[in-house]
Amino acid sequence: MNPSTALLIVDVQYGFMPGGGLPVIDGDAVVPVINRVAPLFTNAVFTQDWHPADHVSFAANHPGRQPFETIDLPYGEQVLWPTHCVQGTRDAALHDELHVPQAQLIIRKGFHRSVDSYSAFMEADRKTSTGLAAYLKARNITSVYLCGLATDYCVAWSALDARAAGFEATLIEDACRAIDLNGSLQKAWVTMADAGVGRISSSELMQP
Active-site pick, 109, 152, 161, 176: 109
What is the per-residue burial (b if ≥16 Cβ within 10 Å, else e) of 4-28?
ebbbbbbbbbbbbbeebbbbbeebb
Domain boundaries, the chain: 5-50+87-206
Active-site residue, selected from the candidate residues 11, 28, 49, 116: 11
Tell me the pLDDT tens digit for each residue of 12-50.
999 999 999 999 999 999 999 999 999 999 999 999 999
pLDDT of residue 16: 97
127 is annotated as an active-site residue: no
For the chain, strand residue ranges (E) read 5-10, 43-49, 70-73, 76-79, 105-109, 143-149, 168-177, 198-200
Q: Is 154 a catalytic residue?
A: yes
* pLDDT for residue 181 is more than 90: no
Distance CA(80)–CA(149), nearest Å, equals: 17
pLDDT top residue among 53 and 208: 53
How much is the pLDDT for 208?
80
Q: How many CB atoms lie within 10 A of CB 44?
A: 20
User: Any idea which architecture 5-50+87-206 has in CATH?
Assistant: 3-Layer(aba) Sandwich (3.40)
Q: Is the pLDDT of residue 1 over 80?
A: no
Is this prediction's pTM over 0.75?
yes
Give the separation between CA 157 and CA 152, rounded to whole angstroms: 8
- Residue of 85, 147, 154, 176 marked active site: 154
Question: What is the rounded distance in angstroms from the CA atom of residue 17 to the CA atom of residue 35?
Answer: 16
125 carries an active-site annotation: no
Is residue 185 a contact partner of residue 178, using CB atoms and an 8 Å limit?
yes
